[in-house]
Structure 1
Amino acid sequence: MKTEALYLEVYRQILNDIKTGVFARNQPLPAERVLCDKYHVSRYTLRTALDLLNQAEVIYTMPGAGTFIQPAFLTQPLTQFYSFSSTLKKDNITISNHIVSYVMRPVDERLCRKTGHATGSAVHELVRLRSGQGEPLMIETSYLPVKRFPSLDIERLENGSLYDFLTAAYGFEIHNARETLRPVMPLPQEKELLQITGTLPCILLERFTYENSACAEYTKSIVRGDKYIFSVELKK
């Protein structure tokens, strides 16, 4: 390596090691001494490369705790109706679904307040783990009225979009939707499914989808806080 470009080469090597998983995102980088030995450079050269990575927002430093690798965020605009599957596919991200559970159950008082469905009426409760590039991103729990959707093709939903299935099977047409977001701490079983270690806040995203004036779908999603940025664009 040329001396004048040494720090740039180290910058590129660390960046590649992050992209290829040698260094895990949202985890601390090894100590400077270890990195100097790994890349065979002086501490001055290493720190210059780390400064570049910090400026590029690839890493960040927490005083007293060390230097950490920034998580890779997925940006989801909230300015129009969307599906996570469509958004991820546009970014060439491989999507997979895992059915965690499925039951047909009566509406309780809490769900009645949320959706307006009559207490005791039947709904499908579908829980799916959504992953991108093999990484768990969110747990989605969807409630669908049996009166509107008599049955669900669980095998098809394991491999495809819920909205695509409802549209094809039942002529489902979305007229409007409402969403709320708030930070939450995941429950132990949610941490296990999302492969969260330590303390990591998540985002509770609740979506109410309406067909005419009736709530045809209520979905609550526990989204990893280190994986998603939700954006809104305001225009005057």
Structure 2
Amino acid sequence: MCDLDKNNKMPLYGQLMNFLLSEIECNKFKEYEKLPSERELCDKFCLSRDTVRQAIFQLEKMGYIYKKHGKGTFVAPKQLKPDLYKFYDFTEEMKKLGKDAASKILSFEIIPADKYIAKFLKIKENSNVHRITRLRIVDSIPLIFEKTYLPMEKFGYFHIDELNNSSLCNILKNRFSVKFSKGEETFYPITPDEEIARYLSLMRFQPVIKIERTTFEDEIPIMFTERIVRGDKFKYTVITSF
């Protein structure tokens, strides 16, 4: 089989990339499924080994596939694409994407707000806040290390058992009658420290994205969240209009 167009202006490796991408996107090759070997692709498309390797290298670089030493090349799990335009419940949002999601509470404590946290919540420095540290897990893979801060002045005492039985979003809505109005988010890349690398099972120098989100009720900030997100698992798209 030699159905790539050698007269096309697009390089042959690019044509092979597009073919494999279309097969992945239409689920002919499913997540974690092994791709044909380099030799099989060479024979099927009448291509040189260098051309096939270049296509495979680019797809791996883009995060669509990954290699296992001695076992072959496999389809990477698709990147998650949460909706940035609304306040979302993490578990429910992952369910919409067909994923099995869970949250592991690492700590639940009351601390004095430092200057940085106080700035986002517009409270006095050293005011008491709830700090909830959680690990967000999707399909048994840890993907997000998260710290959430809630001012004690607005949210009095609540117990860790509540978080074990309900989402934070539902607790705030149902017990504290919160009506979320908007959220402001800032994204930037960071180098993970040892703690984050350990919790997210990261390799050395693996990219992560830090997301700072302030959530408002009317124009009053009521929650500040710091998320460290695995850059290889999440994709965020912003659409602008003119």
TM bucket normalised to smaller: 0.7 to 0.9
1:201 is matched with 207
Contact 2:86 2:183 in 1 (8 A): no
Contact 2:33 2:74 in 1 (8 A): no
* 1:158-169 aligned within 5 A: 158-169=164-175
**Aligned pair 1:87/2:93, yes or no?**
yes
CA distance in 1: counterparts of 2:127 and 2:45, whole angstroms: 64
With normalisation by structure 1, the TM-score equals: 0.73
* 1:122-137 aligned within 5 A: 122-137=128-143
Distance 1:58 1:168, change over 3 A: farther
Q: CA deviation at 1:18?
A: 6.7
| Coordinate RMSD, CA, aligned | 3.5
1:103 is matched with 109
**Aligned pair 1:222/2:221, yes or no?**
no
Distance 1:198 1:69, change over 3 A: farther
Contact 2:117 2:224 in 1 (8 A): no
5+ long unaligned stretches in structure 1:
5-10, 24-28
CA distance in 2: counterparts of 1:166 and 1:113, whole angstroms: 21
The code of the aligned residue for 2:83 comes to P
The code of the aligned residue for 1:234 comes to T
2:121 is matched with 115
Q: Percent identity?
A: 27
With normalisation by structure 2, the TM-score equals: 0.72
Contact 1:203 1:224 in 2 (8 A): yes
Distance 1:185 1:160, change over 3 A: farther
Q: CA deviation at 1:194?
A: 0.5
The code of the aligned residue for 2:134 comes to R
CA distance in 1: counterparts of 2:78 and 2:46, whole angstroms: 23
Q: CA deviation at 1:161?
A: 1.8
Deviations 1:32-57 (A, max 9, x none): 5xxx6xxxx69524987x96xx59x9
Contact 1:149 1:170 in 2 (8 A): yes
CA distance in 1: counterparts of 2:162 and 2:80, whole angstroms: 25
**Aligned pair 1:60/2:66, yes or no?**
no
1:44 is matched with 43
CA distance in 1: counterparts of 2:44 and 2:204, whole angstroms: 33
Q: CA deviation at 1:68?
A: 7.7
Contact 1:203 1:225 in 2 (8 A): yes
Contact 1:116 1:215 in 2 (8 A): yes
Contact 1:59 1:69 in 2 (8 A): no
Higher share of residues assigned strand: 1
Distance 1:42 1:132, change over 3 A: closer
Q: Highest relative contact order (Cα 8 Å, sep 6+), 1 or 2?
A: 1
Deviations 1:140-197 (A, max 9, x none): 1000011211123322323532111111111111122211111111111101100111
Q: Which moved further from structure 2: 128-137 or 110-119?
A: 110-119
Secondary structure of residue in 2 paired with 1:227? coil
State which of 175, 179, 182 in structure 1 corresponds to 2:185.
Answer: 179
Contact 1:60 1:69 in 2 (8 A): no
CA distance in 1: counterparts of 2:29 and 2:228, whole angstroms: 30
Contact 1:79 1:232 in 2 (8 A): no
Aligned length: 207
Deviations 1:57-87 (A, max 9, x none): 994369xxx8785452001232333332222
Distance 1:125 1:61, change over 3 A: closer
**Aligned pair 1:139/2:152, yes or no?**
no
